[in-house]
Chain A
Amino acid sequence: MFDAVLLFREALYGALVIGLACSVLGVYVVLRRIVFVGAALAELSSAGIALALWLAGRGWMLGLATHPIALALILTIAGVLFFGAGGGRGKIPPDATIGVTYAVAAAMGIILISKAKTGEAHDIFLQGNILGITRADTMVLIAVAVPVLVVHALFYKEFLFVSFDRETARTLGYRVNFWNLLLYLTLGLVIAFAMQFAGVMLVFNFLVLPAVTGLLISRSMTGTFFWSILSALLAALIGFSLSVPFDLPSGPAIIAVSGALAALAFLVRLAQRR
């Protein structure tokens, strides 16, 4: 069993890096109630990948076939700027704007990939292909995740304040829009890169379930981050290790373990209350 897992160890390392980065950002995603912004950004990223493959398939911008991340990043950053600047304020409720973005981006992704000449081979980008992660991919993921995590470690206090009480932060001279945008930017970067390998479903899982697990177990921010990270890493490790010998799809196996850990955390919470 372990030999089989070791065979795909690069994939496991990649899943661990994605889980680590997403589980930190996920605490803000859940606390700020922007869970579906994460999903919409993931769909925008996948639509970017599909657009790159469609363009390359038509003989335009051939370089995009090997580097679809370029367009994925552009679309995701556009989404970051829109949502980070309070997109959807006005007559249309914000959750409806997120829903529209999610639905249109998902549909565009499917349409474009179905018409891309290279689509059959690449629709795996939309579904995610954890097992296909190479050493180079893991290094790219680390190169994105480390600066993002450093920014979050350095500016924890600032991100926390503008997330918890933006009006008071503003009265103390905080540039709330700047910090919001920076938070969304780190979110967009991680989603755009993680999406290439993990797919919408697994990225969404890592953004939500570990943070929920952390919030269920802990009563402090530090504890919430700790349990969120630990449960994401455990889910990646256990889910991946089970998926290889039992021939299960890796992403859903990891999500199933995340769900089990969240359920366990819920039971712990119930026990704490008694």
Chain B
Amino acid sequence: MAELVSFDHATLGYGRRVILSDLTFAIPEGDFLGMVGPNGAGKTTILRAILRTLKPLAGTVTHRPGIRFGYVPQRDQVDYNFPLTVIDVVMMGRYDRIGLARRPRAIDRQLACTALEHVGILELADQPLSALSGGQKQRTLIARALVGQPNVLVLDEPTNGMDLVATTQILGLVRELHERDKLTVLMVSHALNEVANYVERIALVVNGGFRIGAVDDIMTVPVLSEMYRIPVDVDNLNGHRVVVARRDGQTLPVSDV
């Protein structure tokens, strides 16, 4: 499959501070990739390079010409004090297409309604954003990303702070968008157990290290113990992979695993 984004020995960081070095991997068209790791490990830094808002300090990050991202930020990154309705927010996803100093037209509203229907909350179109539940806000932000007709849907911690039901629904929706619409999806999360059962590939970003592969290759005791530097068990529960850190687990030096 054609590569949408490819990293070639890329070093990422800010100023002189290197966060991750020598990254070489690609995101092919049709991929469903979960980028997983603890907070502060560098997931957001890779995400910025993918989204073209951060240039590599060394190496190259190449994007296929004409690529368009649909970005779903973390929910708390958006300010809910703004007196905006759901449809106002969704139409923002078309602002760059509408053009400078122009106002949204009827077609933009129509496309926003279609995107809302796609994520199952069309009836909330005229509700104030601040009145929505966490899951509904997330669906609104996903609709905003979809209305721009992207090649790649990028979600940053989409289930942060959500309960079990909302988490399952949002992850189910993302999977549906990937399978039904053949959309390339990149999902960033710190919750390995949540992501591993939905995506097709996993990129682990832990302790300055980076490992990418199919879920079956990454969700193994040796790989996870080495990356997280703690003994873990990987179990299968009704077809779901579950990673559990051993109760008496000590942090392991890299050489022991």
Say whether B83 faces chain A, with CB atoms less than 8 Å apart: yes
List the B side residues contacting A161 at CB < 8 Å. 92, 95
Q: Do A171 and B51 have beta carbons less than 8 Å apart?
A: yes
A221, B88: Cβ atoms closer than 8 Å = yes
Note all chain B residues with C-beta closer than 8 A to A140.
none
Asked if A91 is at the interface (CB within 8 A of a chain B CB), the reply is no
Task: Tell me the complex Cα distance, A170–B85, Å.
Answer: 22
Q: With A157-B95, A172-B96, A221-B88 as given contacts, are A164 and B83 in contact (CB-CB < 8 Å)?
A: no
* A residues 114-167 touching B (CB-CB < 8 Å): 154-155, 157-158, 160-161, 163-165, 167
A174 — which chain B residues lie within 8 A by C-beta?
A: 95-96
Complexed CA–CA distance, A224 and B88 (Å) = 14
Complex: A223 Cα to B95 Cα, angstroms: 21
B18 interfacial by beta-carbon distance below 8 Å: no
Number of residues from B at the complex interface, CB < 8 A: 30
Return A141 CB to nearest CB of chain B, in Å. Answer: 25
- CB neighbours (8 Å) of B59 from chain A are none
Q: Least Cβ distance of B74 to chain A in Å?
A: 9
What is the chain B residue whose CB lies nearest that of A154? B101
Say if the beta carbon of B79 comes within 8 Å of chain A.
yes
B79 contacts A31, CB within 8 Å? Answer: yes
Q: State whether B95 touches A219 (Cβ < 8 A).
A: no
Tell me the total A-B contact number using a CB cutoff of 8 A. 72
The smallest C-beta distance from B125 to any residue of chain A, in angstroms, reads 13
Contacting pair B81 A31 (CB below 8 A): yes
Partner of A218, one of B83, B88, B95: B83
Least Cβ–Cβ distance between A139 and chain B, in angstroms = 27
Q: How far is the CA of A164 from the CA of B81 in the complex (A)?
A: 9
Judged by a CB distance under 8 angstroms, whether B53 is at the interface is: yes
A31-B81, A157-B95, A172-B148 known; A167 vs B128 contact (CB < 8 Å) = no
- Kindly supply a per-residue 1/0 record for chain B positions 30-74, scoring 1 wherever the CB is within 8 Å of any chain A CB and 0 otherwise: 000000000000000000000111000000000000000101010
Give the interface centre of B52, B84, B95, B148 by most chain A CB atoms within 10 Å: B95
- The answer on a CB contact under 8 Å between B92 and A219 is no
Q: Using a CB–CB distance below 8 Å, which chain B residues touch chain A?
A: 51-53, 69, 71, 73, 77-79, 81-85, 88-89, 92-93, 95-96, 98, 100-104, 128, 144, 148, 154
Instruction: Return the 8 tightest CB-CB contacts between A and B, nearest first.
Output: A171-B71, A172-B96, A154-B101, A171-B51, A170-B53, A165-B78, A164-B82, A219-B83
